[in-house]
Structure 1
Amino acid sequence: MTGFGITDEDIKSFTTSNAGLCGIDTSRLSRFLLAQLTSAWKHRTINTFAVTDVIQQLEGRSPLPSMTAKPRQFKGDALRGLWKVHFFDARFLGRNILNEWSMFSSKSNKFEKLCARIAAEEEEAPSRVGWQGRLAHAFVMEGYRQRAAKQKLTGEWLIFGVHEQINIYLSICTHSNGPEQDREIYDALFALCGDEFPDVFAQQTG
C-alpha cells in the first residue's frame, strides 16, 4: 500500500462509506482496484464516482444512460477474453472536445464549418461576448454535448473479467499503445489479481 499512500484502514473506510459502492458486492472488486480507488479518493486525483457509476451501470443498478461506448472485449491476443469500458472524468474533457471537432485530422473540415457558422451568426445577431466568446462556448459546450449524445466520451479503461456471467472488476488503466503494452498490462493484472480471481485468468489461458 505504500506506493498508493494509503493504509488498510483507508481502504476499509472507502469501501464501507463511499456511496458509489452502495449495493455493490465489493468482493468482486480486486484488492488492487480498491487500492486504486481509495488512493484516488484520498488524494483527489480522480473523481471515484466516474468509476463507480460505470460499475453501477454494468451491474444494472443505475437508471442513468451511459455517455461512453458500450463495454467490449479486447481483441488482441494478450488481453483476449477480458473486457474494457471507458470511464469519463473532467480531466478528459479537453481530449474529448478536440476529438469531437477532429482537430487532429487534416482531412476534416468540422472546425472550419463551425467557425463559418459562428461568423455568420455573429454577423446576423451580434452578441455581447463577440465572436470569440461565441466560438469558445460552441466549441466546448456543443462539442461535449454532441460527444456525449453519441456515447463517444472517452477517458481511461475499467478492465474487468466475466466468469459464469458475473463481472469481476480488476483495475483502472490507461489506454494501451499496442500489443507489447497489452502484454505488460496482462502480466501486471495476472501478478496483482491472478491469485484472487484465478477463474478469470484461467479463461484466458484455457
Structure 2
Amino acid sequence: MPEPLFSIKHEDGRDMSDELNAFARTIGLERIAPGRYSILLVLSLFGGMASGRMNPAVVVQEIEALEGLRTSRFKKPIQNKHPPLQGLWHKHFYDAGLKSLAMNFKKGLDKFKIPLFLQRMKEAREAGVERYVTLEDVDALATDMVQGNLARLAERQAMSGEWLMFAEHEGRRYYLCLATHDSSQHDGIRTQIDEICCKEFPFLKTILNDLETRP
C-alpha cells in the first residue's frame, strides 16, 4: 500500500486522509510534482470536483505545462508584484465557467474585433458596393466572434482564466492553491498560504517576509 502523502480530517471529525491521498494520485499530482503541492491545492481541486464547479484536469494540465510535460494555451507565468501575494507566481487556467468565458470573449473582441465582418466590409468597399448584415450572415459572424476569437487567443497563448498560485525555490516550482483576479480576495488567500502552505514549505516565509520588509 502506498505511503500516505498527508493526514487530514473533515470538520465533522471524519478522516479524509485515504480519500484525498487517492485523489492526489489519481489526478496525477504526485506523478507530476511529487512532494511539491500543498494540501490546500488538493482540497480546492477535490471540492471543485465534488461540487461539479470544475474539472481538476484543467489545473493539472497547467502544472504539466509548467513542468515541461506539455504546452499551454494560456499566458506565460506571471510573478505577482503587489502585496499580499507579492513574490509568488500565478499561471492562468480555464475553468470553463461563464466568468472565464465572458472574460475571454471581451478580451478577444477588444483585440481582434470581428475579423469576418471586417473582411466582408473591406470586400464591399473594394467592389464599390453597399452591403448590409442579413439574417443569413448572423450565424457565421457570431461563430467568428466567439469561437474564432477564442481560437485566436489560444493560438497566441493569450487566454485568461483563474489563477494557479505557485512559488519558485532552488529551481523548482511548488504549487500552493487556486486564486482569482479579484484582488479583494487576495488577503484571504494570503492568510491561507500563511497558515497552511508556509508550514508545509517553510522557505515560503523567507520569500514572503523578505519582499514585505524591502524598502
TM-score range, shorter chain: 0.7 to 0.9
Displacement of 1:174: 1.2
Q: How many residues align?
A: 192
Which of 14, 17, 21 aligns to 1:12? It is 21
Measure the CA separation in 1 of the matches of 2:143 and 2:205: 47
The reply on whether 1:187 has 2:191 as its aligned counterpart is: yes
Which of 144, 165, 173 aligns to 2:171? It is 165
- Assess if the C-alpha contact under 8 Å between 1:118 and 1:134 holds in 2: no
| Residue identity in the other structure for 2:113 | K
The reply on whether 1:50 has 2:54 as its aligned counterpart is: no
The reply on whether 1:71 has 2:80 as its aligned counterpart is: no
Relative distance call for 1:93 and 1:109 in structure 2 (3 A) is closer
Relative distance call for 1:141 and 1:161 in structure 2 (3 A) is same
- Assess if the C-alpha contact under 8 Å between 1:118 and 1:135 holds in 2: no
Normalization by structure 1: what TM-score?
0.79
Match in the other structure for 2:88: 82
Relative distance call for 1:109 and 1:137 in structure 2 (3 A) is closer
Structure 2: segments with no counterpart, 5+ residues: 1-9, 125-129, 211-215
Measure the CA separation in 2 of the matches of 1:131 and 1:6: 58
Match in the other structure for 1:143: 149
- Assess if the C-alpha contact under 8 Å between 2:112 and 2:149 holds in 1: no
Q: Secondary structure at the match of 1:130?
A: helix
Match in the other structure for 1:95: 103
- Assess if the C-alpha contact under 8 Å between 2:41 and 2:178 holds in 1: yes
Measure the CA separation in 1 of the matches of 2:15 and 2:96: 24
Displacement of 1:27: 1.9
Runs of 4+ that moved beyond 4 A:
118-124
Displacement of 1:119: 6.7
Measure the CA separation in 1 of the matches of 2:121 and 2:15: 52
Displacement of 1:109: 9.0
Relative distance call for 1:134 and 1:120 in structure 2 (3 A) is farther
- Assess if the C-alpha contact under 8 Å between 1:88 and 1:154 holds in 2: yes
Structure 1: segments with no counterpart, 5+ residues: 103-107
Q: Secondary structure at the match of 1:37?
A: helix
Please give the per-residue CA displacement for 1:7-60, whole angstroms capped at 9, x wherever unaligned: 333312212222x43622342110110111112223321111110001111111
Normalization by structure 2: what TM-score?
0.76
Displacement of 1:199: 0.8
- Assess if the C-alpha contact under 8 Å between 1:160 and 1:169 holds in 2: yes
RMSD: 3.1
Measure the CA separation in 1 of the matches of 2:120 and 2:11: 52
Please give the per-residue CA displacement for 1:107-162, whole angstroms capped at 9, x wherever unaligned: x8935x654545778999x99x8111111111112111111122111110000111
